Structure 1
């Protein structure tokens, strides 16, 4: 379902990013959710909170740094 009508951000988009370990502020910057009218902010924050408390962190992108690969934390 579409959570943010202004930016056409779905619940799946938010959940995917939240499961990758991103917080609401990061998701807001990445997807633009809750940056226009703000009506979706409560729903978006709730989705992020539910994912953070019930799912392990997984990698959204396969990126590497000088410290080594970034990936899922177990």
Structure 2
């Protein structure tokens, strides 16, 4: 779905950058989202927040699993 019509930025573009660890300000600078009319800013921020909200659980899971995996081979 196109989030930013002015710059033709999709939710997938925003999500890809957010999953790479970028915050909204960095994504805005990189993609130009919400830099013209500004109507898409709320939606773009929501996409970034959803991506970041889903990430800590996976990161925590990986941190908990990794020590056990290393200890099993010793």
TM-score, normalized by length of structure 1?
0.74
Q: Which runs of 4+ in 1 moved over 4 A?
A: none
- Structure 2 spans left out of the alignment, 5+ residues: 57-62, 64-74
Separation (CA, whole Å) in 1 of partners of 2:51 and 2:10: 15
| Alignment-derived partner of residue 55 in structure 2 | 55
- Structure 1 spans left out of the alignment, 5+ residues: 57-73
Name the structure where strand makes up a greater proportion of residues: 1
Asked if residue 13 in structure 1 is aligned to residue 10 in structure 2, the reply is no
Q: Residues 1-74 of structure 1 correspond to what in structure 2 (within 5 A)?
A: 1-55=1-55
The higher radius of gyration belongs to 2
Root-mean-square deviation over aligned CA pairs: 1.5
